[in-house]
Amino acid sequence: MARPKSEDKRNALLAAATRVIVTQGLSAPTATIAQEAGVSNGSLFTYFETKADLLNELYLELKADMASAAMDGFPDEASLREQFFHTWSNWMHWAMSNPEKRRAIAQLGVSEEITEASKAAGHKTMGSIGKLVESSRAKGAMRDAPIGLVLAIMNSVAEATMDYMVQDPENADLHCKAGVEALWRMLA
């Protein structure tokens, strides 16, 4: 009879994969990830059939973590602008608090190992944020632009904002506000 899988080991493998991807890239061997997690390489394959499965699971886990953080404490009764600013601020602070996760998700986002199904599931995880962006641009200059372009611009502004927050942590809140103000003027 097969031993039951441990959620703790699975989580340890995902956390180890995050750290290893950041330091060694996506081509890092699974043995290194397993060693970092404190399990055997064979145990890794008990939880993830292939390395690609591990990377796809990690991608989805990181997307879900980021979306959850961004939507935490969402002010349902606030104005659209306040909702947007709240979500943005949460997202920026998640990135500041989780630099390894931010760097890992950036690498995974451009990896050919991430399947279209995982990308679609990741977009679905971010659905609440997507709806907020759609509402924000409904009457603005970007209302007729393809949503993919709008999200790409938003992500670029977010990455630039995060970079400035990391480089100048004493003024992180000012950079966060400047980034969201610029994006809001572009969207709304």
Q: State whether 18 and 67 are in the same domain.
A: no
Q: State whether 102 and 162 are in the same domain.
A: yes
Tens digit of each residue's pLDDT, the chain (188 residues) = 455 678 999 999 999 999 999 999 999 999 999 999 999 988 999 999 999 999 999 999 999 999 999 999 999 999 999 999 999 999 999 999 999 999 999 999 999 999 999 999 999 999 899 999 999 999 999 999 999 899 999 999 999 999 999 999 999 999 999 999 999 999 99
Going by C-alpha positions, the residue among 111, 68, 115 that lies closest to residue 91 is 68
- Using CA atoms, how far apart are residues 15 and 64, in angstroms rounded to an integer? 14
**CATH, residue 4:** 1.10.10.60
Query: Which pTM does this prediction carry?
Result: 0.91
The end-to-end CA distance of the chain, in Å, is: 59
Going by the DSSP 8-state scheme, the letter that residue 40 receives in this structure is -
| Cα 107–chain centre separation | 11
**CATH, residue 94:** 1.10.357.10
What tokens were used for 51?
């390395």
The per-residue pLDDT for 44 is 94
Q: State whether 44 and 66 are in the same domain.
A: no
The per-residue pLDDT for 5 is 77
Q: How many domains does the chain divide into?
A: 2
**Domain membership flag for residue 57:** no
Q: State whether 97 and 183 are in the same domain.
A: yes
Q: For residue 5, give its domain range.
A: 1-48
Computed from CA positions of residues 63, 68, 70, 74, in that sequence, does the dihedral angle turn out positive or negative? Answer: positive
The per-residue pLDDT for 4 is 62
**Domain membership flag for residue 73:** yes
pLDDT in tens, 59-68: 999 999 999 9
The per-residue pLDDT for 3 is 59
The per-residue pLDDT for 2 is 53
